[in-house]
Amino acid sequence: MASGNAIRGSRVGAGPMGEAERGESAPRLRISFWCSNGHETQPSFASDAQIPETWDCPRCGFPAGTDRDNPPDPPRTEPYKTHLAYVRERRSDADGEAILAEALAKLRGEI
């Protein structure tokens, strides 16, 4: 026996599909973007929209530009810095030696 729900399998707002029901779609432009790996992406833009200089490549994530022969460079990623690397940026070797000597003197009970 079938259930009594008449709208089973449809969603709110569902109706006949087609241009006559939805109206005319806006004029579009398809612009090609190339990344440094040679991947081509063709997003579509409204004909009166401002086209961006770069677009993220959906395949590799690198930035892509409209010039096929001269794509944008991939971003440089800085390596992970350790705590010691940050300390060395703030202090010179002489400062480090002075701090170490003071800590050793305190441990030995000289201070």
Q: For the segment 10-20, what is each residue's pLDDT rounded down to a tens digit?
A: 666 666 655 56
Q: Indicate the pLDDT class of residue 107, thresholds 50, 70 and 90.
A: very high
Q: What is the pLDDT of residue 85?
A: 87
What is the rounded CA–CA span in Å between residue 22 and residue 10?
A: 18
> What residues are designated binding site?
35, 39, 57, 60
| C-beta of residue 57 within 8 angstroms of C-beta of residue 40 | no
pTM, two decimals, is: 0.54
Residues within the annotated binding site for Zn(2+)?
A: 35, 39, 57, 60
Does 106 score more than 60 pLDDT?
yes
* DSSP three-state, residue 68: coil
- Average pLDDT for 79-84: 88
* pLDDT reported for residue 44: 93
